[in-house]
Amino acid sequence: MNRLKIGWIGLGNMGNPMAKNLLKAGLDITVFNRTKDKEKDLISAGATSAATPEALLQACDVVITMLSNDEAVKEVFESEQGLLSKDNPGKIIINMSTVSPETSRYLATICSKKQVHFIDAPVSGSVKPAQEGSLVILVGANNADYEIVKPIFEILGKVAIHVGEAGVASAAKLAINYLLGLNLQGLAETVLFAEKNGVSKKDMLNIINQGACGNGITAIKAPAILNDSYPAAFALKHLVKDLRLAKEAGLDSPLIHPLYDSFVLAQEEGLGDQDVMAIISSLKNK
């Protein structure tokens, strides 16, 4: 494991602490970010910098991408100086960004043509689990590739769940984020209904979290609701994107459409860069 050279692309709110955890574990890390200022923190911690994604793959055994959407990921793979712009057979690319199952299958196909191994590995969890190395990692890969990179996942997460081939993990991520959206919408509606009928936010959240309806997300989001402050652990705009991808992938259940519309409206109201729990601010005056 220590002999593997790891490349990292995407040093946002999630990518930065994840790459730092690999550095802390003593791994050899090279980074690439379009905004070079975002590399400084990692370089000061011991990482090196690559000039282009292609140079990064050439210098590393495994490259991990953690980017905001399908378009950004495809750009990194397919641009003039992208990951696949030259031949680097035998290398491994792990996409940990949340993208559509279709995009993951497409990336697997174009990597295969270059004899590059592709792994689909989106994560469940936000900034704090990324910092703590306690993410849940959903893995789409063949067994041999999974075994090679499994030690990396053991650093980044508390568990890695191998769900199938590339594309299956992306479908699992969209499914769990749909459930996340339902939880947040339900929590917000419950607290607001209770408040309108004389139950304080504090008491209602205590009732929820002490009972069978409480779960990890209701406990995590309780302080934000009590303080009416929603700095982004997971930005609302990203959940809007994930719900859209789920719809495009075939989710056509009774709740997806009103749920999606609710979060889209919140984004249109200017809440996109706030935390997903800011949905309660959008619903407050409805």
- First CA to last CA distance, the chain: 54
How many Å apart are CA 217 and CA 223, to the nearest integer? Answer: 11
Question: Which own/partner pairs from 246-253 qualify as long-range (CB within 8 Å, at least 24 positions apart)?
Answer: 246/174, 246/175, 246/177, 246/178, 248/100, 249/100, 249/101, 249/102, 249/171, 249/174, 251/174, 251/178
How many Å apart are CA 31 and CA 137, to the nearest integer? Answer: 21
How many Å apart are CA 211 and CA 104, to the nearest integer? Answer: 39
Q: What is the DSSP string of 55-87?
A: HHHHH-SEEEE--SSHHHHHHHHHSTTSTTSS-
Active-site residue flag, 173: yes
DSSP state of 276: G
C-alpha closest to that of 277 among 170, 192, 161: 192
How many Å apart are CA 127 and CA 18, to the nearest integer? Answer: 9
Q: Which residues lie closer than 8 Å to 234 by C-beta, 6 or more apart?
A: 126, 127, 275, 276
Neighbouring-strand partners of residue 119: 94
Which residue in 20, 173, 221, 237 is the catalytic one?
173
Catalytic residue set:
173
